[in-house]
Amino acid sequence: MPEHTVLPTGRRAAGCPFEPAAELTALREQPGLPRIPRYHPFFGQREARAVTRYHDVRAVFAHEDIGADLNADPDAPRTLFNQPGFLLGYDGPGHLRLRRMLAGAFTVRRLRELGPSIEKIVTGHLDAMQAAGPGADLVRAFALPIPSLVICDLLGVPHADRADFQHRSAVLLDATRPEQEQFANYAAMHAYMAELVARLRAEPGDGLLGEVIVKHGAEITDEELVGFGNLLLIAGHETTSNMIALGTLALLGEPDQLAAVRDEDDVATPAIEELLRHLSIVTYLDRRATTDVTIDGHRIATGEWLSLSLLAANHDPALVGEDAGLDVHRKPVPHLAFGFGAHQCLGQQLARIELKVALPALLRRFPDLRLAVPFERIEFRTLSPVHGVTSLPVTW
């Protein structure tokens, strides 16, 4: 196995891990779609085309002949990426079939109904932090448990099980873990979700998976439900928890902008969109050409892999002008933090609601919030496709 390094399309600036590294910016400024080495813990070493400019990334997302298909192998060990029901690995009619079964659970109207329960969860964790403080690891005390509990409620997963799935999710997204550990980890994930699906087949309850069973039970297999459940369980808490922690960290470095989010009611919406763009926590995604295609004059051959840098695209002057720094008063731009096209994130509105509740509430409860350690001691998850911090010590 090759030495683990940060993928060129995912490199962030030294000392400012919210922005693209100079070499990534230089890659974006190169003509064409440069070829880069791409190692994947399940698919091995291969070459990929780096897609880094905003309009190119958007065009690739939208192109019907460039797929998210990860070539799942039914004879290989199960992984999240090699699992029926893993929505991000489907294209065309298969993708539409599965996505429509979930779409009803993620309407804006239905998610807004979750607002009071999200506010209750946020308030409860702020109360606990205040009672135990001053001082906390914001990841463990606030950023991680809030979206974990919300997704448990949405899916119908017992709250008591969240510590286990948080651990399994952390292993899954850690590219340094040996292959056999990853296979064993996913076997445990699969076994847990298979047991939950069996229970929900008997008694669906009122969670999302139960609703899918009630409405589409004859159309969907247990294996597909397992893939659904594991994907949503992981995606539903990993991305939002990292956004809460990193968003807080970014604002702590910009006191005037932090004050605006804390004190100005009309800033929350543009601030969340700006943080999503600026942080680009889903740093890169893979795609593959299913036939010969041309993107903005760049020819891509059948079977070629592409590594899409959402980080570089969201900082492209073509999207935000020459100043791509954090500006919570910026008029929202059509960023690519949730992707684009057929595979655009199904849970994006849920993430927005959670962030809009959690971040201002945290800053208002603790107006003197600050780091408890020097910035240089913060440990970032540089080898994960989902950018984040392992912990965030704060005090007030």
Give the model's pLDDT for residue 75: 72
Strand partners, 288: 67, 305
The pLDDT of residue 325: 94
> What are the structural domains of the chain?
8-395 (1.10.630.10)
Cβ distance 225 to 197 under 8 Å?
A: yes
- For the chain of 396 residues, list the mean pLDDT of each consecutive stretch of 10: 67 90 94 85 76 97 85 66 81 88 80 88 97 94 91 81 74 70 81 91 88 91 90 83 96 97 94 98 92 91 94 97 95 96 90 95 97 95 84 97
Determine the pLDDT at residue 83: 81
Nearest to 310 by CA among 356, 276, 333: 276
User: What's residue 1's pLDDT?
Assistant: 37
pTM score: 0.90
- pLDDT for the residue numbered 231: 85
pLDDT value of position 273: 98
Sheet strands (E) in 94-202: 136-137
Report CA-CA distances (Å) from 331 to 258, 272, 327, 375.
Answer: 17, 11, 9, 29
What is the C-alpha separation between 320 and 264, in angstroms, rounded? 23
DSSP states along 200-267? HHH--TTSHHHHHHHHHTTTS-HHHHHHHHHHHHHHHHHHHHHHHHHHHHHHHT-HHHHHHHHH-GGG
What's the CA dihedral at 365, 368, 374, 377 to 10 degrees? 0
At residue 13, the 3 state secondary structure works out as: strand
Q: Helix 222-252 and helix 208-216: axis angle, to 10°?
A: 150
